[in-house]
Structure 1
Amino acid sequence: THSVAVIDYGDVSCGPRVSDLAIAMSYVMYRKEEPLACVMPFVAGYHSVHPLTEGEVDVLFDLSLMRLATTVVMAAHHRSIRPENAYLSVSESGALRLLRLLDSTVDVNHLLPRAILRHTCNMAPIPSAPSLHSLAPPHVVRPPSCLAVVDL
Protein backbone atom coordinates (compact mmCIF):
# COMPACT_ATOMS: atom_id res chain seq x y z
CA THR A 1 0.00 0.00 0.00
CA HIS A 2 1.01 3.60 -0.46
CA SER A 3 -0.13 6.89 1.02
CA VAL A 4 -2.39 9.02 -1.13
CA ALA A 5 -3.03 11.89 1.27
CA VAL A 6 -1.94 13.43 4.53
CA ILE A 7 -4.55 14.87 6.86
CA ASP A 8 -3.39 17.43 9.42
CA TYR A 9 -5.70 17.23 12.43
CA GLY A 10 -3.79 19.95 14.28
CA ASP A 11 -6.25 22.69 13.34
CA VAL A 12 -9.40 20.64 13.87
CA SER A 13 -11.80 22.25 16.29
CA CYS A 14 -15.52 22.51 16.88
CA GLY A 15 -17.08 25.85 16.12
CA PRO A 16 -19.56 27.64 13.91
CA ARG A 17 -19.11 26.74 10.25
CA VAL A 18 -19.12 30.42 9.34
CA SER A 19 -15.73 30.63 11.08
CA ASP A 20 -14.23 28.25 8.52
CA LEU A 21 -15.73 30.33 5.71
CA ALA A 22 -14.23 33.49 7.23
CA ILE A 23 -10.80 31.87 7.41
CA ALA A 24 -11.02 30.71 3.80
CA MET A 25 -12.29 34.14 2.79
CA SER A 26 -9.17 35.72 4.33
CA TYR A 27 -6.98 33.55 2.12
CA VAL A 28 -9.06 34.32 -0.98
CA MET A 29 -8.55 38.07 -0.36
CA TYR A 30 -4.84 37.65 0.33
CA ARG A 31 -2.61 39.72 -1.99
CA LYS A 32 -5.54 41.02 -4.03
CA GLU A 33 -5.89 44.67 -5.00
CA GLU A 34 -9.70 44.52 -4.78
CA PRO A 35 -10.25 41.95 -2.03
CA LEU A 36 -13.98 42.48 -1.58
CA ALA A 37 -14.66 42.12 -5.30
CA CYS A 38 -12.64 38.90 -5.57
CA VAL A 39 -14.31 37.31 -2.56
CA MET A 40 -17.87 37.81 -3.84
CA PRO A 41 -17.95 34.77 -6.19
CA PHE A 42 -16.37 32.63 -3.47
CA VAL A 43 -19.00 33.58 -0.89
CA ALA A 44 -21.81 33.28 -3.45
CA GLY A 45 -20.65 29.77 -4.34
CA TYR A 46 -20.48 28.73 -0.71
CA HIS A 47 -23.92 30.23 -0.04
CA SER A 48 -25.39 28.34 -3.02
CA VAL A 49 -24.30 25.01 -1.51
CA HIS A 50 -24.57 25.81 2.22
CA PRO A 51 -27.01 28.72 2.64
CA LEU A 52 -25.90 31.23 5.23
CA THR A 53 -28.23 32.92 7.69
CA GLU A 54 -28.41 36.70 7.86
CA GLY A 55 -26.60 36.56 11.20
CA GLU A 56 -23.76 34.55 9.69
CA VAL A 57 -23.39 36.93 6.75
CA ASP A 58 -23.45 39.92 9.11
CA VAL A 59 -20.43 38.63 11.10
CA LEU A 60 -18.50 37.15 8.17
CA PHE A 61 -16.38 40.22 7.37
CA ASP A 62 -15.52 40.85 11.03
CA LEU A 63 -14.54 37.20 11.51
CA SER A 64 -12.29 37.45 8.48
CA LEU A 65 -10.61 40.54 9.95
CA MET A 66 -10.14 38.66 13.21
CA ARG A 67 -8.41 35.83 11.35
CA LEU A 68 -6.04 38.27 9.68
CA ALA A 69 -5.30 39.97 13.01
CA THR A 70 -4.64 36.56 14.58
CA THR A 71 -2.18 35.79 11.77
CA VAL A 72 -0.26 39.01 12.49
CA VAL A 73 -0.26 38.53 16.27
CA MET A 74 0.78 34.88 16.11
CA ALA A 75 3.59 35.69 13.68
CA ALA A 76 4.94 38.35 16.05
CA HIS A 77 4.65 35.96 18.99
CA HIS A 78 6.46 33.13 17.18
CA ARG A 79 9.16 35.54 15.95
CA SER A 80 9.80 36.63 19.56
CA ILE A 81 10.29 33.00 20.60
CA ARG A 82 12.20 31.73 17.56
CA PRO A 83 13.59 34.70 15.61
CA GLU A 84 15.81 32.44 13.49
CA ASN A 85 12.78 30.69 11.94
CA ALA A 86 11.55 33.04 9.20
CA TYR A 87 8.86 30.59 8.14
CA LEU A 88 6.87 31.27 11.30
CA SER A 89 6.15 34.82 10.13
CA VAL A 90 5.89 34.23 6.37
CA SER A 91 2.24 35.35 6.24
CA GLU A 92 2.60 38.39 8.47
CA SER A 93 3.37 41.10 5.90
CA GLY A 94 0.59 40.01 3.51
CA ALA A 95 -1.96 39.82 6.32
CA LEU A 96 -0.92 43.23 7.62
CA ARG A 97 -1.14 44.78 4.14
CA LEU A 98 -4.61 43.29 3.65
CA LEU A 99 -5.77 44.53 7.06
CA ARG A 100 -4.62 48.05 6.18
CA LEU A 101 -6.34 47.90 2.79
CA LEU A 102 -9.59 46.65 4.31
CA ASP A 103 -9.32 49.22 7.11
CA SER A 104 -9.18 52.02 4.53
CA THR A 105 -12.34 50.59 2.94
CA VAL A 106 -14.11 50.49 6.29
CA ASP A 107 -12.98 54.06 7.04
CA VAL A 108 -14.88 55.23 3.97
CA ASN A 109 -18.05 53.33 4.84
CA HIS A 110 -18.18 50.81 7.68
CA LEU A 111 -21.39 49.30 6.27
CA LEU A 112 -19.96 48.62 2.81
CA PRO A 113 -18.32 45.19 3.36
CA ARG A 114 -21.40 43.82 5.12
CA ALA A 115 -23.71 45.26 2.46
CA ILE A 116 -21.60 43.70 -0.31
CA LEU A 117 -21.66 40.29 1.37
CA ARG A 118 -25.40 40.52 2.06
CA HIS A 119 -26.05 41.44 -1.58
CA THR A 120 -23.80 38.57 -2.69
CA CYS A 121 -26.03 36.19 -0.69
CA ASN A 122 -29.25 37.64 -2.17
CA MET A 123 -30.14 39.52 1.01
CA ALA A 124 -31.09 43.16 1.38
CA PRO A 125 -27.76 45.04 1.55
CA ILE A 126 -29.05 47.18 4.43
CA PRO A 127 -31.76 45.27 6.29
CA SER A 128 -33.37 48.34 7.87
CA ALA A 129 -33.73 50.15 4.53
CA PRO A 130 -36.75 49.50 2.34
CA SER A 131 -36.15 47.72 -0.92
CA LEU A 132 -36.15 49.96 -3.97
CA HIS A 133 -38.52 47.49 -5.58
CA SER A 134 -41.07 48.08 -2.83
CA LEU A 135 -40.90 51.86 -3.33
CA ALA A 136 -41.30 51.90 -7.10
CA PRO A 137 -44.66 51.44 -8.77
CA PRO A 138 -45.02 48.40 -11.01
CA HIS A 139 -43.32 49.16 -14.28
CA VAL A 140 -45.62 48.72 -17.25
CA VAL A 141 -44.45 49.83 -20.67
CA ARG A 142 -47.11 50.87 -23.14
CA PRO A 143 -46.41 52.61 -26.41
CA PRO A 144 -47.60 56.20 -26.22
CA SER A 145 -50.68 56.82 -28.35
CA CYS A 146 -49.17 60.01 -29.69
CA LEU A 147 -46.43 58.14 -31.56
CA ALA A 148 -46.90 56.74 -35.00
CA VAL A 149 -45.78 53.17 -35.56
CA VAL A 150 -43.71 52.82 -38.70
CA ASP A 151 -43.24 49.35 -40.11
CA LEU A 152 -40.30 49.07 -42.46
Structure 2
Amino acid sequence: MNLKLEILTEDHAKQICCWKYEEIYSIYNFPDWDTLKQQRWGITIEEKRKNEFTAVIDESNNLCGYIRFVENKDFVLVGLGLKPSLCGQGLGNIIMELLKNECKKRHGSKKVALEVRSFNKRAIKCYEKAGFEITDVYQKDTLIGSDEFVMMEYKC
Protein backbone atom coordinates (compact mmCIF):
# COMPACT_ATOMS: atom_id res chain seq x y z
CA MET A 1 0.00 0.00 0.00
CA ASN A 2 1.27 3.45 -0.93
CA LEU A 3 0.79 6.04 1.78
CA LYS A 4 1.37 9.79 1.73
CA LEU A 5 1.01 12.71 4.12
CA GLU A 6 -1.54 15.49 3.69
CA ILE A 7 -3.08 18.22 5.80
CA LEU A 8 -5.41 16.80 8.45
CA THR A 9 -8.81 18.34 7.75
CA GLU A 10 -11.75 18.70 10.13
CA ASP A 11 -13.46 15.88 8.20
CA HIS A 12 -10.43 13.65 8.87
CA ALA A 13 -10.53 14.57 12.55
CA LYS A 14 -14.21 13.67 12.75
CA GLN A 15 -13.46 10.30 11.11
CA ILE A 16 -10.83 9.59 13.79
CA CYS A 17 -13.51 10.11 16.45
CA CYS A 18 -15.42 7.21 14.89
CA TRP A 19 -12.51 4.77 14.98
CA LYS A 20 -13.14 2.04 17.55
CA TYR A 21 -10.28 -0.05 18.84
CA GLU A 22 -11.14 -3.28 20.61
CA GLU A 23 -10.18 -4.95 23.88
CA ILE A 24 -7.17 -3.41 25.65
CA TYR A 25 -6.64 -0.99 22.76
CA SER A 26 -10.05 0.62 23.37
CA ILE A 27 -8.18 3.02 25.66
CA TYR A 28 -7.17 4.81 22.43
CA ASN A 29 -10.78 5.50 21.37
CA PHE A 30 -11.52 9.22 21.10
CA PRO A 31 -14.70 10.72 22.56
CA ASP A 32 -17.27 12.01 20.07
CA TRP A 33 -16.50 15.18 18.11
CA ASP A 34 -18.76 17.47 20.15
CA THR A 35 -17.06 16.37 23.40
CA LEU A 36 -13.63 16.96 21.86
CA LYS A 37 -14.63 20.44 20.71
CA GLN A 38 -16.08 21.30 24.11
CA GLN A 39 -12.87 20.14 25.82
CA ARG A 40 -10.77 21.98 23.19
CA TRP A 41 -8.61 19.04 22.17
CA GLY A 42 -5.82 20.07 19.79
CA ILE A 43 -7.29 18.10 16.91
CA THR A 44 -10.42 20.29 16.99
CA ILE A 45 -8.53 23.59 16.71
CA GLU A 46 -7.88 24.50 13.08
CA GLU A 47 -4.56 26.27 13.72
CA LYS A 48 -3.21 23.30 15.72
CA ARG A 49 -4.43 20.83 13.09
CA LYS A 50 -2.60 22.81 10.42
CA ASN A 51 0.65 23.18 12.39
CA GLU A 52 0.90 19.95 14.41
CA PHE A 53 -1.09 17.23 12.65
CA THR A 54 -0.82 15.44 9.35
CA ALA A 55 -3.09 12.85 7.78
CA VAL A 56 -1.81 9.54 6.42
CA ILE A 57 -3.69 8.89 3.17
CA ASP A 58 -3.71 5.87 0.86
CA GLU A 59 -3.74 5.85 -2.96
CA SER A 60 -7.58 5.98 -2.94
CA ASN A 61 -7.54 9.09 -0.69
CA ASN A 62 -8.78 7.15 2.35
CA LEU A 63 -7.64 8.25 5.80
CA CYS A 64 -5.42 5.49 7.21
CA GLY A 65 -3.81 7.26 10.15
CA TYR A 66 -2.50 10.50 11.55
CA ILE A 67 0.71 11.89 13.02
CA ARG A 68 1.12 14.76 15.48
CA PHE A 69 4.33 16.76 15.91
CA VAL A 70 4.60 18.85 19.09
CA GLU A 71 7.83 20.82 19.31
CA ASN A 72 9.31 21.99 22.58
CA LYS A 73 12.76 23.42 23.28
CA ASP A 74 14.47 20.06 23.80
CA PHE A 75 12.80 17.76 21.29
CA VAL A 76 9.85 17.02 19.02
CA LEU A 77 7.26 14.78 20.65
CA VAL A 78 5.44 12.71 18.06
CA GLY A 79 2.21 10.81 18.37
CA LEU A 80 0.45 8.67 15.85
CA GLY A 81 -2.64 6.62 15.28
CA LEU A 82 -3.53 3.97 12.74
CA LYS A 83 -7.10 3.17 11.71
CA PRO A 84 -8.13 0.11 13.78
CA SER A 85 -9.03 -2.03 10.76
CA LEU A 86 -5.48 -1.56 9.43
CA CYS A 87 -3.62 -2.54 12.61
CA GLY A 88 -1.41 -5.62 12.40
CA GLN A 89 -0.87 -5.37 8.64
CA GLY A 90 2.67 -3.98 8.67
CA LEU A 91 1.63 -0.40 7.88
CA GLY A 92 3.29 0.86 11.04
CA ASN A 93 6.67 0.46 9.35
CA ILE A 94 5.57 2.64 6.42
CA ILE A 95 4.07 5.27 8.71
CA MET A 96 7.23 5.38 10.83
CA GLU A 97 9.31 6.12 7.70
CA LEU A 98 6.88 8.89 6.72
CA LEU A 99 7.04 10.22 10.30
CA LYS A 100 10.85 10.30 10.40
CA ASN A 101 11.09 11.99 6.97
CA GLU A 102 8.46 14.60 7.83
CA CYS A 103 10.06 15.28 11.20
CA LYS A 104 13.42 15.89 9.56
CA LYS A 105 11.78 18.19 7.00
CA ARG A 106 9.91 20.18 9.67
CA HIS A 107 12.44 20.16 12.51
CA GLY A 108 15.84 19.33 11.05
CA SER A 109 18.13 17.37 13.36
CA LYS A 110 16.16 18.07 16.53
CA LYS A 111 15.77 15.07 18.83
CA VAL A 112 12.58 13.06 18.22
CA ALA A 113 10.72 11.32 21.05
CA LEU A 114 7.43 9.56 21.59
CA GLU A 115 5.57 8.04 24.48
CA VAL A 116 3.41 4.95 24.49
CA ARG A 117 1.53 3.01 27.13
CA SER A 118 3.78 0.20 28.36
CA PHE A 119 1.18 -2.53 27.66
CA ASN A 120 1.24 -1.71 23.93
CA LYS A 121 3.97 -4.19 23.00
CA ARG A 122 2.86 -4.22 19.35
CA ALA A 123 3.56 -0.47 19.02
CA ILE A 124 6.79 -0.61 21.04
CA LYS A 125 8.10 -3.36 18.74
CA CYS A 126 7.23 -1.23 15.68
CA TYR A 127 8.95 1.84 17.14
CA GLU A 128 12.08 -0.16 18.03
CA LYS A 129 12.21 -1.54 14.49
CA ALA A 130 12.08 2.08 13.25
CA GLY A 131 15.13 3.02 15.36
CA PHE A 132 13.56 4.28 18.58
CA GLU A 133 15.02 3.20 21.93
CA ILE A 134 13.40 3.16 25.35
CA THR A 135 14.80 5.94 27.53
CA ASP A 136 12.36 5.97 30.45
CA VAL A 137 9.38 4.19 32.03
CA TYR A 138 7.07 6.21 34.29
CA GLN A 139 3.56 6.65 35.68
CA LYS A 140 1.51 9.45 34.13
CA ASP A 141 -1.90 10.87 34.96
CA THR A 142 -4.30 10.85 32.02
CA LEU A 143 -7.92 11.88 31.52
CA ILE A 144 -8.96 8.35 32.48
CA GLY A 145 -6.55 7.80 35.36
CA SER A 146 -2.91 6.94 35.96
CA ASP A 147 -1.07 4.54 33.64
CA GLU A 148 2.47 3.40 32.94
CA PHE A 149 4.18 4.93 29.90
CA VAL A 150 7.39 4.30 28.00
CA MET A 151 9.39 7.22 26.58
CA MET A 152 11.33 6.39 23.42
CA GLU A 153 13.85 8.45 21.44
CA TYR A 154 14.88 8.09 17.83
CA LYS A 155 18.50 7.13 17.43
CA CYS A 156 19.54 8.08 13.88
The TM-score, its normalising length taken from structure 1, stands at 0.30
The TM-score, its normalising length taken from structure 2, stands at 0.29
The structure with the largest helix share of the pair is 1
The structure with the largest strand share of the pair is 2
- Which one has a bigger Cα radius of gyration? 1
Q: Greater relative contact order (Cα 8 A, min sep 6): structure 1 or 2?
A: 1
